[in-house]
A and B are shown apart, each in its own frame.
Chain A
Amino acid sequence: GENVEQHPSTLSVQEGDSAVIKCTYSDSASNYFPWYKQELGKGPQLIIDIRSNVGEKKDQRIAVTLNKTAKHFSLHITETQPEDSAVYFCAASSRNDMRFGAGTRLTVKP
């Protein structure tokens, strides 16, 4: 089955700086790569996703890149704000199997 590794486990940045979270996956059949943000006391919420036929996708301050050859994908957040503080999960999904990374706790210091 799929195995997803996520780094770092914690990340602290100053407001306005960029944050990068990296994930690797093992199953070459995986073709859908979502990123979820989970705030305290809430369920995970999709913030951006990418499919295997695309190398990069951007939505305002958030971007995701995918390298299928190397089996890794990354989340980039620019101009970070305190409200970006949360736990971020990457996931990799093939037909019927979505696996989450272990999560990254991002803290943005004002």
Chain B
Amino acid sequence: DTEVTQTPKHLVMGMTNKKSLKCEQHMGHRAMYWYKQKAKKPPELMFVYSYEKLSINESVPSRFSPECPNSSLLNLHLHALQPEDSALYLCASSLMLQGSGELFFGEGSRLTVL
């Protein structure tokens, strides 16, 4: 199994809603990542978890709240988002913390904030 699975594929939410994005991998990877990708732009790193501990937070607003319940799961909790937060949210995993090997990306969750 060499997949990173993200749900939901599409999400539409209002600015007052609370929602969550979910990511799962069963490759035994110990590093997991959230990226944000706007149209025609490269992925931008948001958060990195290494061994289920938050390792990197790229100064992301607190309306985005990551959670790593176990080594296979990664969540991104969303609350009070703005329309400019609409984007493709990509989850990725790697065997160890990035810099040493391949990142495996999921298909992404396309978020629209109304």
A residues with a Cβ closer than 8 A to B are: 31-32, 34, 36, 41-46, 49, 89, 93-98, 100-103
Given the complex, which residues of A lie within 8 Å of B45, measured CB to CB? 98
> When the two chains form their complex, are residues B42 and A96 in contact, meaning their CB atoms are under 8 A apart?
no
In the A-B complex, the 8 residue pairs with the smallest Cβ-Cβ separation, listed nearest first, are A43-B105, A100-B42, A95-B99, A93-B99, A98-B98, A44-B105, A43-B107, A46-B102
The residue on A at minimum CB distance from B43 is A100
> When the two chains form their complex, are residues B42 and A98 in contact, meaning their CB atoms are under 8 A apart?
no
Besides A32-B101, A46-B104, A98-B98, 8 other A-B contacts (C-beta < 8 A): A34-B102, A43-B4, A89-B42, A96-B48, A96-B97, A98-B103, A101-B42, A103-B42
Given the complex, which residues of B lie within 8 Å of A94, measured CB to CB? 99
Given the complex, which residues of B lie within 8 Å of A101, measured CB to CB? 42
Q: Using A102-B41, A103-B40, A103-B41 as known contacts, say yes or no to A32 and B100 having CB atoms under 8 A apart.
A: yes
Taken together as a complex, chains A and B put the C-alpha atoms of A45 and B108 apart, in Å, by 12
The range of chain B's interface size is: 20 to 34
- Interface Cβ pair total, 8 Å cutoff: 54
B residues with a Cβ closer than 8 A to A are: 4, 40-43, 45, 48, 55-56, 90, 92, 97-108
Given the complex, which residues of A lie within 8 Å of B56, measured CB to CB? 96
Given the complex, which residues of A lie within 8 Å of B43, measured CB to CB? 44, 89, 100
Taken together as a complex, chains A and B put the C-alpha atoms of A32 and B4 apart, in Å, by 22
Given the complex, which residues of B lie within 8 Å of A46, measured CB to CB? 102-104
Taken together as a complex, chains A and B put the C-alpha atoms of A50 and B41 apart, in Å, by 23
Q: Which of A31, A41, A89 lies at the interface centre, i.e. has the most chain B CB atoms within 10 A of its CB? A: A41
